[in-house]
Chain A
Amino acid sequence: MPSSGAVTGGRGALVTAPALAVEGLTVGYGRAAPVLQSVTLTLPQGETLGLVGESGSGKTTLARAVVGLVAPTAGSIRVFGADIAALDRAGRALLRRRVQMVFQDPYTSLDPTMTVGEAVAEPLVVHGLGGRAERAAWVDELMRLVGLDASIAARFPAELSGGQRQRVAIARALAPAPALVICDEPVSALDVSVQAQILNLLKRLQRELGLSLLFVSHDLSVVRFLAQRIAVIEGGRIVEDGPRVAVLDRPQHPYTRALIEAARLRARPAGG
């Protein structure tokens, strides 16, 4: 029997279950070639897995499948040991709480008519977590956690800079105390000097909160900074997968080598 409790993760979960275990995942639409073909990936609890690929590689489809937004054609997705296809109603509700996403564009992922405080509190209201006073205290705490002044809670997204908006999006994702956070290109729309602030923040939060992070990116230097393991996806298939240093310093697949060469355009010049 599928246990919804297993989705909880964090301290209560079995230490042996990975945060995310994807096996033989295939996603296709109609007769076209599948978007994902037999993808197998493991993200151990409390670690960061970097999923690297270009547009059309299937990386975003994979991220969406993990949160149940895309139905697999074949294969399985286990989150903290629980097969997400076999969850009961309560299990699915728990999954939606314990797995959160941060998107690329903080300009379109926040509702322009909600104040920052309302946006961060919304997941708590949706999941029925806490009373009004508790929610307000938790929003304050979340704002502090992502490095925002509490006074920003009263403002609207349009009044914020790109970096501030992405901090708000992260606070909102953290609100229901997720155990697994999926970040889909969360820094690629930001200026480089702001990108570093958000990357440091994600690394600190991952460590302090013991989060498991699936970090989707096209940029290998950014992935090197955050991830323990790296999986390279091309044309819906994982072409290389391994520990960070092995993949970057001894790449086996020609596509990984091409991505590394291309990443030099973005990376810190050798002089620095």
Chain B
Amino acid sequence: MTAPAPALSVEGLRVAVGPPGRGRAVVGDVAFAIPPGGRLAIVGESGSGKSMTALAVAGLLPRGARQTAGQIALGGRIVDPAGPGMARIRGREIAMIFQDPMSALNPVMTVGAQLVEAIRAHSAMSPRAARARAAEMLAAVQIPRPAERLDAWPHEFSGGMRQRVMIAMALTHRPKLLIADEPTTALDVTTQLQILRLIDGLCREEGSALMLITHDLGIVEGFCDSVVVLYGGRMMEAGPVAAVLGRPRHPYTRGLMATIPPLDRDVDWLDPIPGEPVATPAADAPGCPFAPRCGLAEARCRTVTPAWRPAGSKVAASCHLLAPSPAGGGLS
């Protein structure tokens, strides 16, 4: 029996910015797969390449950035996200929601008109039927009095309501993959939880796979089943959420856990990672991008890029110290 093709598979993804030939890689050798209905988190700080990875998959890279290597497949079919066929795929097979729902909505169109446009972009539905469907969608994202709200303008909605509209729009055509790039970062904390539960519930109902971009490990723990940890445009560690967060192998993942204040107990001091993330990394430079901030770094960490290797059941990581070193020791 063969396993069903993954909803999304990414192999050897590389994204560069700047002029061709003289560009700098901001994402290097990123690879992962999401099974149908699976929920993957991509975690990282500023400059980790997490948003660039998401935009590359959706074929929405900003001007000046381009995919220079790698293969992206949707449901087992290889696609070219930058190619002309992507417009038919985006919105129907892949949908994306962003951090700021105000700038993603058109301020001079009513909410209903935007939903109708999204529905009719990929179906031959009549305007009247599309409007009825739009009201159903607003109801599905738990907006009260949905039929009346179709005539509202985006500025009449709160941030949380706007994000609900974006979710409704994204899930219109039951995509196989929903990409959510920091969908709750701009919202109030109690609204964040409601929106994440809504995304989670609707993805389960529709059977959509979820690729969630976040910097919050608590969100990863609560809403995803596997996780990719990025730093400086490269993969540090990946695996099932329970394994990676329960027993982080990579010094960066460990450092990230220790740096966050716990909610359920008192600690006198936090264990910060020294220094700050580099805003514009060179993901193709030799060595480990985390080496300058890593307390365990050795000479080879700065000169030799560590291989991606298994680091436990279903977990893999990129760190020299995970392999038995000539001096003995190692982390695992």
0 or 1 for each of A158-202: is its CB under 8 Å from B? (1 = yes): 000111100000000000000000000000000111111101100
A268 and B1 CA atoms in complex are apart in Å by 40
Closest residue of chain A to B273 (Cβ to Cβ) is: A193
Given A55-B188, A193-B273, A271 contacting B259 (CB threshold 8 A): no
Closest residue of chain B to A204 (Cβ to Cβ) is: B269
CB pair B272–A225 under 8 Å, yes or no, is no
Closest residue of chain B to A271 (Cβ to Cβ) is: B246
Flag whether B152 is at the interface (Cβ < 8 A). no
Flag whether A267 is at the interface (Cβ < 8 A). yes
CB pair B270–A196 under 8 Å, yes or no, is yes
Flag whether B271 is at the interface (Cβ < 8 A). yes
Flag whether B225 is at the interface (Cβ < 8 A). no
0 or 1 for each of B179-219: is its CB under 8 Å from A? (1 = yes): 00000100011101100100000000000000000011111
CB pair A191–B189 under 8 Å, yes or no, is no
A39 and B184 CA atoms in complex are apart in Å by 30
CB pair A161–B276 under 8 Å, yes or no, is yes
0 or 1 for each of B278-307: is its CB under 8 Å from A? (1 = yes): 010000000000000100000000000000
Contacts of B276 in A (CB 8 A): 161-164, 191, 193-194
Flag whether A149 is at the interface (Cβ < 8 A). no
A193 and B273 CA atoms in complex are apart in Å by 6
Flag whether B266 is at the interface (Cβ < 8 A). yes
Flag whether A270 is at the interface (Cβ < 8 A). yes
Flag whether A245 is at the interface (Cβ < 8 A). yes
Contact of B189 among A192, A200, A263 (CB under 8 A): A263
Contacts of B188 in A (CB 8 A): 54-55, 218
Flag whether B222 is at the interface (Cβ < 8 A). yes
Contact of A222 among B255, B257, B261, B264 (CB under 8 A): B261
Interface size class of A (residues with CB under 8 A): 35 or more
CB distance from A94 to the nearest CB of B (A): 34
Flag whether B262 is at the interface (Cβ < 8 A). yes
CB pair A265–B190 under 8 Å, yes or no, is no
User: Which stretch in A30-38, A113-121, A254-262 binds the other chain?
Assistant: A254-262
CB pair B193–A196 under 8 Å, yes or no, is no
Flag whether B100 is at the interface (Cβ < 8 A). no
CB pair B190–A221 under 8 Å, yes or no, is no
Q: How many residues of B contact A (CB 8 A)?
A: 44
A163 and B273 CA atoms in complex are apart in Å by 12
CB distance from A135 to the nearest CB of B (A): 29
CB pair B259–A192 under 8 Å, yes or no, is yes
A261 and B188 CA atoms in complex are apart in Å by 13
Contact of A200 among B248, B262, B272 (CB under 8 A): B272
Flag whether A272 is at the interface (Cβ < 8 A). yes
Contacts of B293 in A (CB 8 A): 193
Contact of A259 among B190, B245, B271 (CB under 8 A): B190
Flag whether A224 is at the interface (Cβ < 8 A). yes
Given A54-B189, A197-B272, A225-B267, A264 contacting B218 (CB threshold 8 A): yes
A54 and B248 CA atoms in complex are apart in Å by 32
A265 and B185 CA atoms in complex are apart in Å by 11
CB distance from B69 to the nearest CB of A (A): 28
Contacts of B247 in A (CB 8 A): 271
Flag whether B263 is at the interface (Cβ < 8 A). yes
CB distance from A222 to the nearest CB of B (A): 6
Given A193-B273, A271-B247, A224 contacting B242 (CB threshold 8 A): no
Given A220-B263, A221-B262, A259 contacting B221 (CB threshold 8 A): no
Given A191-B46, A193-B256, A193-B277, A221 contacting B261 (CB threshold 8 A): yes
CB pair A265–B269 under 8 Å, yes or no, is no
Flag whether B258 is at the interface (Cβ < 8 A). yes
Given A269-B217, A269-B245, A203 contacting B193 (CB threshold 8 A): no
Flag whether B136 is at the interface (Cβ < 8 A). no
Flag whether B45 is at the interface (Cβ < 8 A). yes
Given A218-B189, A271-B247, A264 contacting B263 (CB threshold 8 A): yes
CB pair B257–A259 under 8 Å, yes or no, is no
CB distance from B258 to the nearest CB of A (A): 7
CB pair A268–B189 under 8 Å, yes or no, is no
Can you list 30 pairs linking A and B with CB atoms under 8 Å apart?
A161-B276, A163-B276, A191-B45, A191-B46, A192-B256, A193-B259, A193-B272, A193-B273, A193-B293, A194-B272, A194-B277, A197-B274, A199-B261, A200-B269, A219-B189, A224-B261, A225-B266, A225-B267, A248-B263, A260-B263, A261-B193, A264-B222, A265-B189, A266-B216, A267-B218, A267-B263, A268-B262, A271-B242, A271-B257, A272-B260
Give the top 7 A-B pairs by smallest Cβ distance, nearest first.
A267-B263, A272-B257, A196-B272, A271-B246, A196-B270, A262-B189, A193-B273
